[in-house]
Structure 1
């Protein structure tokens, strides 16, 4: 007789459980059921195993668990790893330049999507689909896309990338459609900062510098086209209302537009008060009865008719897209050493945490998990903070040694199981860099009561409000 112990994974997070399984065979190779099974842990300080084979993790580290069957006394062993919060679950080399803007996206099945720029001329990229265990499912090379663009996922799992060309893929990696026939401009129209949003009713909004389109996501048919920008200013990520009736799109250095989603008709426009500062990579936020307009150097609060209700405090240029706590507290970062801010309102600062600044002014922004845990990518590392209106305390940081640093540029993504994702980039380095997608062990779900908990609202990076 022989026995084999197995589990769906060889690692688990501290304070979590893992169900062990056992298969036994007799001498003829037939599967049999042992009369009795005894489980035990090789290190009970790290983990215990109950009579049903359920492992309960206590502290981090490696250990063996054992099983023995009766009456024959055969057994087996399984090596397990107990991870602690903030430990690297895996890291994946992108094989090119990591993006310098945006963030990874998650599909409905947990697949993680990320771009890598593959040339120094910034006109080619590779789209990766990666499993939650860090294994590449598929990859596709894209032309006229670079590290300033980002993937978005529709409710059906289809993946979209808006560059100078626009690409759509099925969840299995097959091409749904591509727009590669673009108008020739007097000046070369690079894919830099081209952006998009995908609504729950199947409309892809594409900001393409000179042009802004509403496209049928199923087949790329044009629904409407907004007024052409002679200054190539349609470069900010669009935002869609929860009811899919209004889309908010900003011409950088010019104005915010509210457009009827069905027709493209203009509802209103509001001038940008910080017109010298471009403010790429960040879009407007929607909270109940309000629009938060993020410009190059402030956040201003508008009502849904376009009236300025509260003018935000003036910053140095380079603000991230904020996230909003259930209490209404606003968290955002800037590119300068002032770092992370908390606001009771856009004109009322609560506190700031110095030196947690982003690498780039186009950095997407932090992510808020349940229980007041904020994840943020910074110039010297990746941080998890416990935050409230009173202040912030460090939960964990990577690298763990404060004398070490690594520049993270990816807006944090909170996966459906609490795993946290971000990426690094070697584009114009100022500190130790790599070009990798990181997954960190965590178990906090995204804050369910936040109207805007992470960059572009959700893990799909849809850009659409939900309430």
Structure 2
């Protein structure tokens, strides 16, 4: 026992005992000498860190954390040693921070500061939009999806991307891309089902992630592109099928002198016999009447029951398709060089004589103007009364039917590979030169992109100023006019029998072998069935997963499923 006396005679034993106890108190420590927490975070986000304090004497302990930049948390409450203590912090500036922790026991002994935890604080990239890609895909086939984000830190940091293909399948890019660049990731699904594809961007090196995008739903179907049914006609077919969905009927002409009516389930209904080959694409009026031409130099109109309603004699074999305008107007060209127009409300027929054969189908503008091209290398604009408004000189014979874009711009191709966009008043807009004849009609998307094929085997996507956005090389000449799907798909056929479906970036999504040349335009039904005809006389119905792009000004050959060839007409 130690005894001591103060100068006042009081015992200071108690004080000495306390000092002795303090001298024996060993300091606490931070377990593993480490702080646990994220290695990166975004400015403004709440980040959580934790540390575990131990005490060799078993004393209660507390923890505090230094956040860097002379900012330290308060102490946690005293608790049993070994308990994980968590603290949060929000950084309001980007940069690199060192986070450390310190412990103290209830008797005031302090540990050393732990080793530092490096934390990168930055600005999160812009949350990407849902990935751009198909919504309906085949099993065991690779598909491309696109995404874009931007770094907003002001440092133009490069970005990496993580794609979530659904059901826990993640794909992280090994390379980084400049801020604002569109990136492409590809994926193959091996199991049918519905998947939700998401993407997020991560700043390179700093590692700050954006929020996940909204998902893009993808249906993986082993039957996509499969044949639903096939109907064999009596001879070659050079007529694009027309669809009357209200009555569930398809119409197609044939070289056996007949117009066929077939149900959308692939069953025969009736045949109307003419005295010549039926190579025109039929057009279906709102009341179900079908207008078509025959090589017997006659334009026919039959009802949906197959009975003749009227006929009109032409001066020669008809062009490839009639057009149906407002108020019951009708227009068609023939190989004598005439453009025949019937005035609205069953008015009289009039004709305008061009300087060459008219081997393209006319089209009606929204105001009733008739546009048609001729082998004399002129595009004509006529009034509903068949008077000339203007003509535009091209460099080649005009074989592709005109398509009318938003604002009334008229688009058409020529047999010398030239493709034109002409203003509604006949003024020049732009011209593009392909490597082969353009004998098909274009489709025009909602954003003004023009899609057209050529005999050079290339399929082109041209922007609204005539510049090439992309092109796709097919296996054969392209005489088939394309159709546009509601998810950005482009559908067309080619010589050799390949029916191709591309996405909006020009990647092949899937194809179908029809067995013979496809020189006609497909027609897209509202139930995602696509109907196409081959030159070998077979009509095919395919399961495609896409519907017609009804927001497009001219989404398929002759504008719509009824083949009216009228701007603003029914889809």
Residues 423-459 of structure 1: per-residue CA shift (max 9 Å, x gap): 111xxxxxxxx32000001332100211111111111
**Equivalent position of 2:327 in the other structure:** 201
**Equivalent position of 1:237 in the other structure:** 361
The CA deviation at 1:283 is 2.6
Whether 1:463 and 2:565 are equivalent positions in the alignment is: yes
**Equivalent position of 2:339 in the other structure:** 212
**Equivalent position of 2:506 in the other structure:** 392
Q: Which runs of 5+ in 2 are unaligned?
A: 1-135, 139-190, 194-220
Q: Distance in 2 between matches of 1:235 and 1:372?
A: 30
Q: Distance in 2 between matches of 1:106 and 1:448?
A: 15
**Equivalent position of 2:252 in the other structure:** 114
**Equivalent position of 2:383 in the other structure:** 260
> Aligned with 1:92: secondary structure?
strand
User: CA contact under 8 A between 2:524 and 2:561: conserved in structure 1?
Assistant: yes
**Equivalent position of 1:103 in the other structure:** 240
1:145-156 mapped onto 2 (5 Å cutoff): 145-147=277-279, 149-156=280-287
**Equivalent position of 2:418 in the other structure:** 298
Per the alignment, do residues 222 and 143 of structure 1 end up closer, same or farther by CA in structure 2, a change over 3 Å counting? farther
**Match among 203, 207, 224 for residue 85 of structure 1:** 224
Whether 1:174 and 2:301 are equivalent positions in the alignment is: no
Whether 1:247 and 2:370 are equivalent positions in the alignment is: yes
The CA deviation at 1:312 is 2.3
> Aligned with 2:506: secondary structure?
strand
Residues 191-223 of structure 1: per-residue CA shift (max 9 Å, x gap): 26353201131011121233222125876x524
**Equivalent position of 2:471 in the other structure:** 352
Per the alignment, do residues 139 and 346 of structure 1 end up closer, same or farther by CA in structure 2, a change over 3 Å counting? farther
Q: Distance in 1 between matches of 2:277 and 2:499?
A: 29
The farther-off stretch of 447-456 and 155-164 is 155-164
The CA deviation at 1:134 is 0.3
Q: Distance in 2 between matches of 1:286 and 1:329?
A: 9
Q: Distance in 2 between matches of 1:312 and 1:295?
A: 11
Per the alignment, do residues 222 and 213 of structure 1 end up closer, same or farther by CA in structure 2, a change over 3 Å counting? farther
**Match among 521, 528, 536 for residue 411 of structure 1:** 521
Residues 135-159 of structure 1: per-residue CA shift (max 9 Å, x gap): 0111111123433x22111121110
**Equivalent position of 2:275 in the other structure:** 143
> Aligned with 1:201: secondary structure?
helix
**Equivalent position of 1:316 in the other structure:** 436
Q: Distance in 2 between matches of 1:94 and 1:385?
A: 25
**Equivalent position of 1:371 in the other structure:** 487
User: CA contact under 8 A between 1:104 and 1:113: conserved in structure 2?
Assistant: yes
Q: Distance in 2 between matches of 1:97 and 1:284?
A: 26
The CA deviation at 1:314 is 4.6
Q: Distance in 1 between matches of 2:519 and 2:358?
A: 23
Per the alignment, do residues 238 and 364 of structure 1 end up closer, same or farther by CA in structure 2, a change over 3 Å counting? farther
Query: TM (normalized to structure 2)?
Result: 0.57
Q: Distance in 2 between matches of 1:364 and 1:91?
A: 19
User: CA contact under 8 A between 1:373 and 1:384: conserved in structure 2?
Assistant: no
**Match among 438, 442, 449 for residue 544 of structure 2:** 442
Q: Distance in 2 between matches of 1:240 and 1:463?
A: 6
The CA deviation at 1:113 is 0.4
Query: TM (normalized to structure 1)?
Result: 0.69
Q: Distance in 2 between matches of 1:59 and 1:387?
A: 20
The CA deviation at 1:409 is 2.2
Q: Distance in 1 between matches of 2:370 and 2:388?
A: 10
Per the alignment, do residues 373 and 154 of structure 1 end up closer, same or farther by CA in structure 2, a change over 3 Å counting? same
The CA deviation at 1:358 is 3.3
CA RMSD after TM alignment: 2.7
**Match among 430, 437, 450 for residue 330 of structure 1:** 450
